[in-house]
Amino acid sequence: MDQPPLDDARAEAAVWQAMVLFSTLSTATTVWHAARERRAGHDPSTQEASAFVQAYLRRAAGELQALLMQLQAALIQAEHAEDEGYIAALVRRYHDLMALRRVSHHLKLIHQRLLSLYPGVTEALVEEARLLRDESSALLGAEDDAFATRLSPFLRRALVFTGSLHRVL
């Protein structure tokens, strides 16, 4: 991303402030949901009841698939954004990173909850959830070029995984 012209400094500052606010609210929402789940007696780090885990995984698989499709659409859009401005590129990248962060969080919880169903689910499915979670975390810290190059194969693998998860449930 090229640096913005000086006359765009105010717009850039406003965009950065909005992104910081949104990130803060997003983190607060994630913490609130986790606290609510724990108060309801659901802790993904422990063995949970099969019926709850299956219902959770169905819902989470659908949400994960929607996020993956959103990222896939963003990749396609980025291919056709040759002359987009600095601020537009900044917002697009931020959006992609926030979606990928949510994907990573979903994969972490899916992996933990799949462990509650093991050996009722294959070891390969549990391991794929873990590997995808690790890969999504690594992508969050990737440089621009590496991010764009690695995101597409990651999305393909993750979409295959969600299909496998839907079939198992």
- 54-95 confidence digits (pLDDT tens): 999 999 999 999 999 999 998 888 877 777 777 888 888 889
Domain containing 112 equals 66-169
The domain total for the chain is 1
| Residue 70 lies inside a defined structural domain of this protein | yes
Say what the pTM is.
Answer: 0.79
| Residue 164 lies inside a defined structural domain of this protein | yes
| Residue 3 lies inside a defined structural domain of this protein | no
| Residue 138 lies inside a defined structural domain of this protein | yes
| Residue 7 lies inside a defined structural domain of this protein | no
Q: Quick check: 107 and 154 in contact, CB under 8 A?
A: no
Q: Quick check: 100 and 147 in contact, CB under 8 A?
A: no
| Residue 94 lies inside a defined structural domain of this protein | yes
